[in-house]
């Protein structure tokens, strides 16, 4: 009983609901109600748009793990979207339509790629790290362009969504949407557990002061590498979801501007926060969608908006709702 | 007698032209409290960096508890039980104080590939961390973010982090740096408690602390061990006394003020973040005068210069140069008004040739009736003329120093400021620098010079200003300084 009361007090519920928790809850409720809204208004595009937003949010969450918490500014994160997507597409093309094969494969290949990229890039710092991650992503982009059997530059149309042998019917857009929501919540929870674990503290400590980290006896490289692999695997899952949603995968998803979009989502939402990237993905993609309806030159408005965030909103949108620590 | 815990033999390291460690030998017995002292640039921090594995030596060996650790990386050494504190506070600024210490406990408790359990609620990490915080008197600050703590608390936390890893050897690199008297006393008490429980190597400028605590003292000068022994032997050593400035001093002398002053400081107060360094510095320099700024390390000499130059903004007081208030001007404007700085550590443009260094500087200079030219500078430093086409980073330490002076002259300065211009140089080169300064002074150049070499300064400077803990404590002529036994006397200097 006493313990329960203490937990209650710690959660802050006794005084007032944390504005951050409030924002998170509100956003989750809105996301959960999207299919209902789509059915009631007959606006099926809303569901398509939000499915895409939720999938990109998973990718942003995975990028935040390395960029926000780990200080590893990867400029090639979209590569994992493509690798995850191509894993689904290629397996389908070769006659393996089962999600039980496709999804683990997407995750495993992405993790393997992250292991290679990380093993080389994490030996460098700053601009060099950014350039190496970018170079690897562009390399995969051009390799995909050369895959004539799988559509080359034009991309590959995937005949059907992953099958889960009657367990789940992904062809039902609402089911698919809720599966994506579940994956997103799972990802956010996973990342929030990781960053508060011993492993997570090492990762954050290394970002904060690498020299001191070594001085207290921690070999930083191997922890960063594992973190890099986890983020790559998670983003690979998001790639598999994306290919399922659109029934299509092409090299364009891996172009470097896509990696840039992911970085913008994370920064816009709030670097190094569990839910910030979700907020960022929703805000960025909705803004992009809205602007593209009114003007051809959406970038003309998006650019200044990002500038304002960079100058005045260092903690991102999420930072607006954060309580100050002592 | 048991073998030493740490045995250092023939340890050597060069940085460019400067020898930072010259065949250093050192033995640390188990449980010993050993202090390393020496002037700025003697290689003390280099020694710490070599011992903890941050940089690799060019020669020599380090044995810790019988095994050779010369080639081990820093994190391996730390896990063997070799912990350090940093001279410039090096913590995790966005973590709480408790998190900082808990992370050190965690690093000591095996690998950190635990991905699920909340480490911040793990008593196996939190309890020892709280104990270490309490040991340094920071228990009440456990949940404060480090960037909200004061400078003194940072220094305490530095020690707590080092202690939390349960080291067998603790390397403390100037734990008192930038602390006021009360905080210094607190850290001293803490070190006294630790004495005997673990082996400690302390690098420190605060002589009272060193002599009060150390079992043995090693003196480094220009990367070399010039003496090693118990405090009484060190105090009596003539070579050691020469390595430092004379003496702590008393009441400020009246300001000498015959002519219109070129530079006038009054009540300058400067801080680095939370750490206050200058507490109302006032002095003046007349045209054509050569004035020296003396004092122990960390007393505020370089900060005074940085405040004059506008490199670090003074929070209060006034700085007038040639009748104009310059306190809030940016550095490039101050330079253009005619103050040429030869910074500590030279800071030449490494990727330009010597000639390009000189020419590039002339771009932002003040007009003068008889401007400095490339030929004039090279005539002043014949040694530099021979190497004018070499990249600056390939020059020796002495040549780089001459280049730094030449570069400052190219701005046609009305006041030339030299910060430790002879530091880390061989005696012959130092003599050449002094010769040049004498020539410049004879030509009517106003000069403010910071240097450790009291004998040379008393020969060529007109007046001396001594700074102690951010305040001017003495000013006087060379004759005054030479005559004042009180100023020249007592322990190793200063």
The pLDDT of residue B256 is 45
**Which of B91, B143, B165 lies closest to A217 in CB terms?**
B165
Q: Say how many CB pairs under 8 Å bridge A and B.
A: 108
**Which of A194, A201, A211 lies closest to B103 in CB terms?**
A201
Tell me the pLDDT band of B485, cut-offs 50, 70 and 90: low
Record: contact A219-B73, CB cut-off 8 A:
yes
Q: Cβ of A193 under 8 Å from any chain B Cβ?
A: yes
Query: Does the pLDDT at position B254 exceed 50?
Result: no
Min CA distance, B194 vs chain A (Å)?
A: 19
Tell me the pLDDT band of B274, cut-offs 50, 70 and 90: low
Q: In percent, how much of chain B has pLDDT > 70?
A: 92
Q: Cβ of A204 under 8 Å from any chain B Cβ?
A: yes
Are the C-beta atoms of residues A106 and A84 closer than 8 Å to each other? yes
For chain B, how long is the longest CA-to-CA vector?
74
**Which of A205, A218, A226 lies closest to B75 in CB terms?**
A218
3-class secondary-structure state, position B462: coil
Q: How far is CA A25 from the centre of its chain?
A: 19
Of B149, B95, B108, which is closest to residue A201 (Cα–Cα)?
B95
Tell me the pLDDT band of B431, cut-offs 50, 70 and 90: confident
**Which of B86, B93, B115 lies closest to A197 in CB terms?**
B115
pLDDT in tens, B337-367: 899 999 887 888 888 899 999 988 887 788 8
Q: What is the pLDDT averaged over residues B83-87? A: 87
The pLDDT of residue A72 is 95
Of A104, A100, A93, A99, which is closest to residue A159 (Cα–Cα)?
A93
Record: contact B73-A205, CB cut-off 8 A:
no
The pLDDT of residue B149 is 83
CA distance A267 to A64: 9
Round the average pLDDT of chain B to a whole number and report it: 85
Record: contact A217-B107, CB cut-off 8 A:
yes
Are the C-beta atoms of residues B35 and B191 closer than 8 Å to each other? no
pLDDT in tens, B370-394: 889 899 999 988 888 888 888 888 7
A326 contacts in B (CB within 8 Å)? 143-145, 148
Give the residue numbers in B contacting A (CB under 8 Å), as ranges: 52, 54, 73-76, 78-79, 83-84, 86, 90-96, 99, 102-104, 106-108, 112-120, 122, 125, 143-145, 148, 161, 165
Q: What is the pLDDT averaged over residues B70-87? A: 91
3-class secondary-structure state, position B200: strand
DSSP code, position B341: E
The pLDDT of residue B81 is 92
The pLDDT of residue B487 is 66
Of B82, B69, B488, B47, which is closest to residue B294 (Cα–Cα)?
B488
* Predicted-complex ipTM score: 0.85
**Which of A198, A202, A215 lies closest to B74 in CB terms?**
A215
* Ramachandran category for residue B412: left, alpha or beta (phi over 0 → left; psi -120 to 50 → alpha): left
Where is pLDDT greater, at B303 or B244? Answer: B303
Where is pLDDT greater, at B245 or B388? Answer: B388
* Ramachandran category for residue A165: left, alpha or beta (phi over 0 → left; psi -120 to 50 → alpha): left
Of B165, B159, B167, which is closest to residue B128 (Cα–Cα)?
B165
The pLDDT of residue A17 is 67
Q: Cβ of A326 under 8 Å from any chain B Cβ?
A: yes
CA distance B91 to B38: 26
A224 contacts in B (CB within 8 Å)? none
DSSP code, position B216: E
Are the C-beta atoms of residues A187 and A62 closer than 8 Å to each other? yes
Record: contact B86-A226, CB cut-off 8 A:
no
Q: Could you tell me which chain B residue has the CA closest to the CA of A226?
A: B113
Min CA distance, B13 vs chain A (Å)?
A: 20
CA distance B90 to B104: 13
Record: contact A198-B114, CB cut-off 8 A:
yes
Query: Does the pLDDT at position B3 exceed 90?
Result: no
Q: Could you tell me which chain B residue has the CA closest to the CA of A223?
A: B113
Are the C-beta atoms of residues A133 and A75 closer than 8 Å to each other? yes
Query: Does the pLDDT at position B185 exceed 80?
Result: yes
Record: contact B103-A205, CB cut-off 8 A:
yes
Min CA distance, A105 vs chain B (Å)?
A: 23
Sequence-distant (6+) residues with CB within 8 A of A101 are A91
Record: contact B113-A215, CB cut-off 8 A:
no
One pLDDT digit (tens) per residue for chain A, 326 residues: 445 444 444 444 434 567 888 888 999 999 999 999 999 998 889 999 999 999 999 999 999 999 999 999 999 999 999 999 999 999 999 999 999 999 999 999 999 999 999 999 999 988 999 999 999 999 999 999 999 999 999 999 999 999 998 888 999 999 999 999 999 999 999 999 999 999 999 999 999 999 899 989 999 999 999 999 999 999 999 999 999 999 999 999 999 999 999 999 999 998 999 899 999 999 999 998 998 888 888 778 888 888 888 788 777 888 887 765 44
- Least confident window among B211-220, B241-250, B283-292: B241-250
The pLDDT of residue A12 is 42
Q: What is the pLDDT averaged over residues B210-229? A: 90
Hey, what's the torsion of the CAs at A203, A204, A210, A215, to 10 degrees?
A: -80
Residue carrying structure tokens 């949108």: A317
B107 contacts in A (CB within 8 Å)? 202, 213, 216-218
A197 contacts in B (CB within 8 Å)? 114-119
**Which of B84, B99, B119 lies closest to A215 in CB terms?**
B84
3-class secondary-structure state, position B221: strand
CA distance B307 to B323: 17
Q: Cβ of A112 under 8 Å from any chain B Cβ?
A: no
The pLDDT of residue B297 is 65
The pLDDT of residue B1 is 59
Residue carrying structure tokens 């050691």: B240
CA distance B29 to B20: 24
Min CA distance, A225 vs chain B (Å)?
A: 12
3-class secondary-structure state, position A54: helix
The pLDDT of residue B236 is 82
CA distance A109 to A112: 5
Tell me the pLDDT band of B248, cut-offs 50, 70 and 90: very low
Helices B354-361 and B397-409: crossing angle in degrees, nearest 10, is 20
pLDDT in tens, B142-184: 999 998 887 778 888 999 999 998 899 999 988 887 676 677 8
CA distance A40 to B41: 76
CA distance B196 to B82: 16
Measured between alpha carbons, how far is residue B139 from residues B84, B132, B155, B259 in Å? 21, 9, 14, 56
Query: Does the pLDDT at position B405 exceed 60?
Result: yes
Are the C-beta atoms of residues B317 and B269 closer than 8 Å to each other? yes
Q: How many C-beta atoms lie closer than 10 Å to residue B389's C-beta? A: 9
Q: How many C-beta atoms lie closer than 10 Å to residue A166's C-beta? A: 6
Of A71, A207, A203, A211, which is closest to residue B158 (Cα–Cα)?
A211
Record: contact A202-B103, CB cut-off 8 A:
yes
Q: Cβ of A11 under 8 Å from any chain B Cβ?
A: no
The pLDDT of residue B399 is 86
Record: contact B90-A201, CB cut-off 8 A:
no
- Residue A145, Cβ density class (10 Å: 0-12 exposed, 13-18 middle, ≥19 buried): middle
Min CA distance, A314 vs chain B (Å)?
A: 15
The pLDDT of residue A325 is 46
* Ramachandran category for residue B60: left, alpha or beta (phi over 0 → left; psi -120 to 50 → alpha): left
Query: Does the pLDDT at position B490 exceed 90?
Result: no
DSSP letter for each residue of A235-252: HHHHHHHHHHHHTEE-GG
- Residue A46, Cβ density class (10 Å: 0-12 exposed, 13-18 middle, ≥19 buried): middle
Are the C-beta atoms of residues B309 and B417 closer than 8 Å to each other? yes
Q: What is the H or E stretch that residue B480 is in?
A: helix B478-483
């Amino acid at each position: 009983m006493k313990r329960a009361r203490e937990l209650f007090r710690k959660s802050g519920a006794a005084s007032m609901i944390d504005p951050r928790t409030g924002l998170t809850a509100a956003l989750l409720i809105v996301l959960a109600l999207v299919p209902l809204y789509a059915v009631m208004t007959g606006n099926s595009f809303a569901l398509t748009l939000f499915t895409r937003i939720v999938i990109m949010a998973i990718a942003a969450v995975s990028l935040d793990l390395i960029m926000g918490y780990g200080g590893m500014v990867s400029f090639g994160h979209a590569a994992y979207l493509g690798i995850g997507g191509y894993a689904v597409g290629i397996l389908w093309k070769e006659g393996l339509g089962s999600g039980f094969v496709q999804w683990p494969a997407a995750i495993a290949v992405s993790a393997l790629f992250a292991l290679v990229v990380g093993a080389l890039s994490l030996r460098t710092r700053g601009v060099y790290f950014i350039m190496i991650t970018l170079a690897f992503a562009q390399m995969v982009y051009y390799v995909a362009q050369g895959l004539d059997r799988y559509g080359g530059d034009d991309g590959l149309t995937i005949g059907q969504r992953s099958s889960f042998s009657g367990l789940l019917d992904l062809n039902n857009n609402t089911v698919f949407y809720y599966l994506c929501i579940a994956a997103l919540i799972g990802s956010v929870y996973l990342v929030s557990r990781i960053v508060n674990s011993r492993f997570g503290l090492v990762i954050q400590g290394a970002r904060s002061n690498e020299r001191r980290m070594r001085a207290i006896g921690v070999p930083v490289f191997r922890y960063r590498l594992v973190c890099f692999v986890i983020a790559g695997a998670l983003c690979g899952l998001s790639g598999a979801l994306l290919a399922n949603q659109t029934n299509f995968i092409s090299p364009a998803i891996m172009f470097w501007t896509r990696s840039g979009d992911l970085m913008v989502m994370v920064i816009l939402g709030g670097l190094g926060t569990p839910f910030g990237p979700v907020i960022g993905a929703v805000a960025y993609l909705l803004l992009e969608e809205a602007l593209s309806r009114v003007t051809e030159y959406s970038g003309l408005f998006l650019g200044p908006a990002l500038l304002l965030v960079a100058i005045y909103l260092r903690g991102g949108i999420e930072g607006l709702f954060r309580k100050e620590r002592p | 007698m048991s073998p030493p815990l740490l045995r250092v033999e023939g340890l050597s390291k060069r940085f460019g032209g400067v020898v930072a460690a010259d065949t250093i030998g050192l033995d640390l017995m188990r449980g010993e409290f050993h202090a390393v002292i020496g002037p700025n640039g003697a290689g003390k921090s280099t020694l710490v960096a070599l011992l903890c594995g941050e940089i690799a030596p060019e020669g020599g060996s380090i044995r810790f508890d019988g095994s050779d650790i010369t080639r081990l990386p820093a994190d391996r050494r730390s896990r063997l039980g070799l912990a350090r504190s940093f001279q410039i506070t090096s913590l995790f600024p966005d973590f709480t104080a408790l998190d900082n210490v808990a992370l050190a406990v965690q690093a000591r408790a095996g690998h950190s590939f635990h991905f699920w359990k909340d480490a911040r609620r793990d008593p196996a990490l939190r309890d020892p961390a709280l104990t270490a915080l309490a040991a340094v008197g920071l228990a009440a600050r456990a949940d404060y973010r480090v960037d909200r703590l004061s400078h003194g608390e940072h220094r305490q936390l530095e020690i707590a982090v080092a202690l939390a890893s349960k080291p067998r050897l603790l390397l403390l690199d100037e734990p008192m740096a930038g602390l006021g008297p009360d905080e210094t006393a607190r850290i001293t008490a803490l070190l006294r408690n630790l004495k005997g429980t673990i082996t400690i190597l302390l690098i420190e400028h605060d002589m009272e602390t060193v002599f009060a605590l150390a079992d043995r003292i090693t003196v480094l000068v220009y990367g070399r061990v010039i003496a090693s022994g118990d405090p009484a032997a060190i105090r009596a050593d003539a070579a050691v006394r020469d390595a430092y400035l004379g003496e702590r001093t008393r009441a400020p002398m009246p300001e000498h003020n015959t002519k219109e002053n070129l530079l006038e400081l009054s009540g300058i107060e400067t801080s680095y973040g939370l750490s206050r360094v200058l507490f109302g510095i006032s002095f003046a320099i007349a045209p054509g005068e050569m004035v020296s700024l003396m004092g122990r390390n960390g007393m505020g000499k370089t900060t005074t210069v940085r405040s004059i130059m506008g490199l670090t903004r003074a929070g209060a007081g006034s700085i007038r140069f040639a009748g104009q208030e310059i306190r809030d001007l940016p550095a490039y404007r101050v330079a253009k008004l005619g103050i040429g700085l030869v910074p500590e550590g030279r800071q030449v443009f490494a990727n330009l040739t010597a000639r390009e260094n000189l020419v590039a500087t002339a771009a932002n200079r003040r007009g003068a009736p008889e401007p400095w030219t490339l030929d004039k500078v090279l005539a002043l430093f014949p040694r530099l003329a021979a190497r004018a086409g070499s990249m600056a980073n390939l020059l020796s330490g002495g040549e780089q120093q001459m280049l730094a002076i030449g570069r400052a002259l190219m701005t046609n300065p009305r006041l030339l400021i030299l910060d430790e211009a002879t530091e880390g140089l061989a005696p012959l080169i130092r003599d050449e620098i002094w010769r040049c300064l004498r020539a410049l002074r004879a030509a009517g150049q106003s000069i403010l010079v910071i240097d450790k070499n009291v004998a040379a300064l008393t020969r060529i400077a007109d007046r001396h200003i001594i700074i102690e803990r951010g305040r001017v404590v003495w000013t006087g002529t060379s004759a005054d300084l030479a005559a004042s036994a009180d100023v020249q006397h007592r322990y190793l200097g200063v």
